[in-house]
Amino acid sequence: MHNSSLYLSMRSFIGIVMQSSLFDVAICFILAGAIDVVIVNLYPFYETVTTFRDVSFDNCIEDIDIGGPTMIRAAAKNHKDVLVVVDPKDYEPLIEHLQGKGNMDDAMFRRRLAWKAFQHVAAYNSAVSEWFWKQTNSGEFVPSFNVVLERSSSLRYGENPHQKAAFYFDKSLSDVKLGGIATALQHHGKGMSYNNYLDADAAWNCASEFSAPTCVIVKHTNPCGIASRHNLVDAYRLALEADPVSAFGGIVTFNVEVDEVLAKALREVRSPTDGETRMFYEIVIAPSYTPKGLEVLKGKSKTLRILEAKKNERGRQSLRQIGGWLAGSGGR
């Protein structure tokens, strides 16, 4: 049943918000029956407005979930008596908890689910709000907005070895297969560090600016070699020759697929400085790899990080933190 026509009866809400400690619990139970678990999957509004570019305004409106968020909020508020689940990843932990096999006490488990529920609804409402602002065609920067991020991993260390760090990404970009380094797939190598992400992002952004087959080598966020050639092995050699000293220990990025021939060049080419030293790199980035190309690269080093990155979304505004935040329109 479409949510715009979903009948949310008073009995349903009594069952959700009913507190087991209330004096009139018996009356409520007779009227509605207790609800112990609420599981809701919201309509995929964000996917609708980003994937189907020509979708009509009215169809987008119809895909704004009303009943789902209402039930989620009601259940989350009454989490002491109702378990609320909004993420399919929590189905298995929920079953284990109900079977008494979970590794978290009941109160904490319920609070974690309630937190996720409110966060989920907030992100959903933010997506709707952002879309509505775009429909005003004002061309102005939005007066206020929310940035919804999801923690992907805890990093090995921060900007310096004694600091802690974590990586967060914009899940909405991952859902529509965009996002650059933030949503990249790591095929091989050590875990990414804080500085690895900074350098990889700089390298990928630079390589993405070119339409011709291009190699970009970056060290400490600065390009130290860039070359465009139809033959990517030639492009790699030329980029390396620009500054082989700085390139050592850097990041090599390509804006087209890495095949077996190119992978062998990355593995075997010696430094132009002495013709003997085999080049060492922290990261290799490309939009895709052939099976053989990936196999060859994995043999270069156990620690070499091999990333497969999706394109960055053109036109999306960029943000920079300076205490406050600087916002700028995206694109070239």
77 is catalytic: yes
Q: Where are the alpha helices (DSSP H) in the chain?
A: 10-17, 25-31, 45-51, 57-62, 67-77, 91-98, 106-134, 171-175, 194-208, 232-242, 244-247, 260-268, 291-298
CA 128 to chain centre: 19
Give the integer Cα–Cα distance in Å for 212 and 234: 13
Which is catalytic among the residues 2, 134, 164, 220? Answer: 220
Residue given tokens 């390589």 in the structure block:
207
Which is catalytic among the residues 77, 187, 188, 298? Answer: 77
157 touches 194 (CB < 8 A)? yes
Nearest to residue 87, comparing CAs of 153, 16, 148, 39? 39
Element (H, E) at 252: strand 250-254
Amino acid letter, residue 165: A
Count the alpha carbons within 13 Å of 69 in the hemisphere toward its beta carbon: 18
3-state secondary structure of 305: strand
131 touches 49 (CB < 8 A)? yes
250-254 and 150-154 as β-strands: parallel, antiparallel, unpaired? Answer: unpaired
Give the integer Cα–Cα distance in Å for 118 and 331: 33
Nearest to residue 235, comparing CAs of 219, 209, 258? 258
82 touches 15 (CB < 8 A)? no
Helices (runs of H) and strands (runs of E) counted in the chain: 13, 12
Q: Crossing angle, helix 67-77 and helix 10-17, to 10 degrees?
A: 30
220 is catalytic: yes
Query: Mind telling me the catalytic residues?
Result: 77, 220
